[in-house]
Structure 1
């Protein structure tokens, strides 16, 4: 019996060690290497039956991404991004309380969590996925800079059928490169997240336009582009 227990613990330890090493191999190189594809892209490609469907992504470096587009996304998705270590505990607690009331698991994801999910995980919601997402989020926060997390997010976020990244989003919806986005257009794109397939930022409904105006006001309240300056050092 003792031998069986020792063997069991040994194999569990080796399995855990293998998982940690595999995770590090998946996460650490992307601190410098741009990911060629994500799990969300693979999911969309596999599950789309249209013959005309194709994945579109053009990578922009941090210096090529307009600051006002970056600010718009952070203002919309995760205003605590410069300060947390991957998790917004208040938002998580609110989501858990809402689940108790409604019986539904509402998202409370930070930008870091969305990067982990988009890169490595399947799209359906479950507690198992949340646990694995938390693990990858922790690794990303420990090994990448905040600037790198934002750079990756802005290049892999989904903004339409087969449309990934701020450059292709700008071209697809407004017919111009991201460098030419106006602040309002950037706010409209940011306001479609995290449900970009439901909205058309080029022809926004009133509630989307109102959300974009709210986004612009939040940007001013946060202090504008200067608010993001510390990310260049983190």
Structure 2
């Protein structure tokens, strides 16, 4: 006869079932991972598509969805005055032709000096700005900056430097609902982007950090001073823009 289990001894219990909150958390994680994979897939395929097709920025898409007007006429880099890409390169990303999408030295310097508000625009290259415009959201945060990096590296890998500059100049915001060099040139100077002077290009380039406040057609004294300084720097920047030539 088998021995009976002593009274009061512990019997093996059934394993506890996961709580309802655990199931909710697991579902949220799955949804989050699914959204990340969906976004990554969109970046991959749209990056390839935008090698030739005119791109659409997230700001433009948001305005269309909210029934707000968008002014943008896509033009090729060859029909944009050479003054504008030179001005933008000088103001935004002087090592554009040398780096592979991310200027690691400049990024490290800015991150070390960054305050609690997050990394500044000074850490951004033109590929990073393009990545933000096409696939991310405006604002300053380490999360967005972290997402910019792989997208910028990917776009710089599959696009030529000329294509990168062309896309950037066609999706950059230059005012409320004003996107791209052609729309900006028409709005502020009543001329095509192909006819922009060096001064006009400098005014447009120095408006980019704050396009909703800085008006290239009616610049403040500070804006004019920034453009004058940029024009002086552009004189020596031409040798660093060789990658923009055909």
Q: Give me the TM-score of the superposition, normalised by structure 2.
A: 0.78
Post-superposition Cα deviations, 1:184-216, rounded to whole Å, max 9, x if no partner, equal 011111111121111111121111111111111
> Contact conserved, 2:117 with 2:141, CA < 8 A, in 1?
no
> Contact conserved, 2:202 with 2:230, CA < 8 A, in 1?
yes
2:94 paired residue number? 79
Q: Does 1:172 align with 2:200?
A: no
Post-superposition Cα deviations, 1:73-114, rounded to whole Å, max 9, x if no partner, equal 111111110111111223212222222xx3121231100000
Q: Distance in 1 between matches of 2:40 and 2:65?
A: 28
Q: Does 1:31 align with 2:51?
A: yes
Q: Distance in 1 between matches of 2:108 and 2:177?
A: 33
1:104 and 1:95, CA in 2 relative to 1: closer, same or farther beyond 3 A? farther
Highest CA radius of gyration, 1 or 2?
Answer: 2
The unaligned stretches of length 5 or more in structure 1 are 1-10
Quote the RMSD (CA, aligned, Å): 2.4
Return the offset for 1:20: 5.3
Q: Does 1:94 align with 2:114?
A: no
Return the offset for 1:27: 0.9
The unaligned stretches of length 5 or more in structure 2 are 1-29
Q: Does 1:42 align with 2:57?
A: no
2:26 paired residue number? none
Q: Give me the TM-score of the superposition, normalised by structure 1.
A: 0.82
Return the offset for 1:17: 7.6
> Contact conserved, 1:74 with 1:81, CA < 8 A, in 2?
yes
Q: Distance in 2 between matches of 1:232 and 1:130?
A: 29
Deviates more, 1:80-89 or 1:158-167: 80-89
SS at match of 2:216: coil
1:138 paired residue number? 153
Return the offset for 1:230: 3.2
Please list, as runs of the form range in 1=range in 2, the aligned pairs for 1:1-234 lying within 5 A after superposition.
Answer: 21-35=41-55, 37-45=56-64, 53-99=68-114, 102-105=115-118, 106-107=120-121, 108-222=123-237, 224=238, 227-232=240-245
